[in-house]
Amino acid sequence: MKRTKPTSTIDPTRAEHCRVLGAVLDRIGDKWTIMVVAVLTNGPARFTTIMREIGGITHRMLTLTLRGLERDGLVKRTAYATVPPRVDYELTEMGRTLITTLVPLAQWGEANWQAIRRAQERHDAQFA
Amino acid sequence: MKRTKPTSTIDPTRAEHCRVLGAVLDRIGDKWTIMVVAVLTNGPARFTTIMREIGGITHRMLTLTLRGLERDGLVKRTAYATVPPRVDYELTEMGRTLITTLVPLAQWGEANWQAIRRAQERHDAQFA
DNA sequence: CGGCATCCGTCGCGATACTG
DNA sequence: CAGTATCGCGACGGATGCCG
């Protein structure tokens, strides 16, 4: 077997997976998106309700986050022409499937965050 | 049943899940971490090798990313006192378990990115 | 080869104020 | 109640250079 260039050992399939995964994380890895999705998991909710439930998010960021989710087809926005205005947000089918894929990651977090904590302390202790 | 404050309908368990998930995403949601982990999935690798395989990452960012992963106990660093220096990086057991939890998310991405694309175009078209 | 320090541009996000 | 506009800061990350 001839091996002229043994530099790259990543198989293309894995590389492709990785690129898509990176794109997804880029999209949902921001500060608020998953919080909003989490709240909407409980069912449709109004703007102010979401804001209260999350706690700490600003008016502006909730607007932007919801716009992004709506644009990607993960959230459906329904505005009622009443006074005062009323707008409902709810997850689309695609939005709901997204959360299920995050469950393993959340479980991993719960299972490992203490170990990570300890690893950090051990590491930091070396350069005290 | 008395409901004095019907504001929050999130059950605490889910809220807890969400907080941890947010922390995890905060940690691995940066620009390079998962790329590095992906490369190391193929086995131990040297600094320069990782850099070549990822492509586009700067010297500095690879250093910082590896430091972070090492600190969290996700990557093990092994330095050999040779000239020139040689340093091997490899995933720890915890690091390997992490990737498996990301598989569903990657699959979701591959299954849905076209739908997301279309949703975006539809959305953008409304405000042409 | 691998690591660290410095400089600097970009941009995410918060604060605030105004509209329908 | 919901959305938009403007300003400003701070963190992130790229470029570069020096060191063991």
Burial of A11 (C-beta count, 10 Å sphere; 0-12/13-18/19+): exposed
> Would you say residue B7 has pLDDT above 70?
no
Q: How far is the CA of B87 from the C1' of D19 (A)?
A: 17
Reported in sequence order, the residue ranges of A23-100 that DSSP labels E, i.e. its strands, are: 45-46, 75-80, 86-91
B27 CA: distance to closest CA in chain A (Å): 9
Looking up tokens 């393993």 gives A104
Closest CA to A6 of B113, B13, B49, B78: B49
Q: How far is the CA of A9 from the C1' of C15 (A)?
A: 49
| Sequence letter at residue B44 | P
Chain A positions in Cβ-Cβ contact with residue B113 (cut-off 8 Å): 20, 23-24
In this prediction, residue A127 carries a pLDDT of 72
DSSP-assigned letters across all residues of A97-119: HHHHHHHHHHHHHHHHHHHHHHH
Give the helix/strand (H/E) hosting A42: none
Question: d(Cα B27, Cα A28) in Å, to the nearest integer?
Answer: 13
Question: d(Cα A104, Cα A21) in Å, to the nearest integer?
Answer: 15
CB spacing of B115 vs A42 below 8 angstroms: no
The set of residues, in sequence order, having a beta carbon less than 8 Å from that of B65 and lying 6+ positions away, is B30, B32, B33, B36, B57
Average pLDDT over residues B56-72: 97
- Provide the edge-to-edge strand list for the sheet that holds B75-80: B45-46, B86-91, B75-80
Give the gyration radius of chain B's Cα atoms: 20
Q: What are phi and psi of B113, to 5 degrees?
A: -65, -30
Asked whether strand C has any atom less than 7 Å from the CB of B48, the reply is yes
Question: d(Cα B26, Cα B55) in Å, to the nearest integer?
Answer: 23
Shortest CA distance from B102: residue in chain A: A105
> Would you say residue A43 has pLDDT above 50?
yes
In this prediction, residue A30 carries a pLDDT of 97
Give pTM, 2 decimals: 0.89
Asked whether strand C has any atom less than 7 Å from the CB of B73, the reply is no
Categorise residue B56: left if φ over 0, alpha if ψ from -120 to 50, beta otherwise: left
Q: What are phi and psi of B87, to 5 degrees?
A: -130, 125
User: Which nucleotide minimizes the distance between its C1' and the CA of A88?
Assistant: D2
B82 CA: distance to closest CA in chain A (Å): 21
Average pLDDT over residues A101-106: 96
SS3 A11: coil
In this prediction, residue B44 carries a pLDDT of 97
**Token reading at A44:** 């449709």
Model confidence pLDDT, tens digit, residues A2-30: 444 444 555 667 777 888 999 999 999 99
Q: How far is the CA of A11 from the C1' of D10 (A)?
A: 39
Q: Which bases of strand D have any atom within 7 Å of the beta carbon of a protein residue?
A: 1-6, 12-17, 20
Average pLDDT over residues A102-115: 96
Assigned CATH topology for domain B12-126: Arc Repressor Mutant, subunit A (1.10.10)
Q: What are phi and psi of A89, to 5 degrees?
A: -120, 140
- Mean pLDDT across chain A, nearest whole number? 91
Model confidence pLDDT, tens digit, residues A51-64: 999 999 999 999 99
Closest residue (CA) to C1' of nucleotide C20 is A85
In this prediction, residue A12 carries a pLDDT of 67
Model confidence pLDDT, tens digit, residues B11-53: 667 777 888 999 999 999 999 999 999 999 999 999 999 999 9
CB spacing of A105 vs B21 below 8 angstroms: yes
